[in-house]
Chain A
């Protein structure tokens, strides 16, 4: 019975990663593409690791997939931050705008 659920989760995560790849090809701005890589691909990997845990039901597999989740999903915002900051410092076109000061009380 569990094999049907795992197969369905596997297909859903493959389609999510396909959507992320299409987003990388279609988006125009560097920061918008970085949004796609950070969030949609993390969702695909989370679904894959849930599928592996449902199939094996083992403590060692749970520990190992928790480490993979920690490395890939906790560190992907940090990697995105480092790349975005480097791109802003070398002046990539499209990333060098000044921040709009919306924190003041201009009637939000």
Chain B
């Protein structure tokens, strides 16, 4: 095991620490946010951070198959916020 592999492992670990530290601020916004669209935006950011943590895991273990999980989470993240916005719009029309 040479120096380059050790450097990549430590870089992935430090990046994982930074990602989990940056989870604090969207959760604060999720609890505090005055209205529902603020919370939807905070959930979007939490999903992006989770995708980043998964890519860190891919680079740490060098397993290509974990990229499929990243793909599925990206799809759920992109369409989930659209569905919540659709629900908001319809709720407004019912009143």
Give A residues with C-beta under 8 Å from B: 1-4, 6-8, 10-11, 13-15, 17-18, 20-22, 24-25, 30, 33-34, 37, 41, 44-45, 48-49, 51-52, 55-56, 58, 60-61, 64-65, 67-68, 71-72, 75-76, 78-79, 82-83, 85-87, 89-90, 92-93
Interface of chain B: mostly helix, strand, loop or mixed = helix
- A11 and B75 contacting across the interface, CB-CB below 8 Å: no
A90→B37 CA distance, assembly (Å) = 10
A102→B85 CA distance, assembly (Å) = 30
Number of interface residues of B (CB under 8 A): 55
Given contacts A18-B22, A44-B48, contact A68 B15 (CB under 8 A): no
Give B residues with C-beta under 8 Å from A: 4-5, 7-8, 10-12, 14-15, 18-19, 21-26, 28-29, 34-35, 37-38, 40-42, 44-45, 48-49, 51-52, 55-56, 58-59, 62, 64, 67-68, 70-71, 74-75, 77-78, 81-82, 84-86, 88-89, 91-92
Residue from A2, A21, A89 in contact with B45 in the complex, judged by beta carbons closer than 8 Å = A21
Residue from B18, B23, B41, B56 in contact with A33 in the complex, judged by beta carbons closer than 8 Å = B41
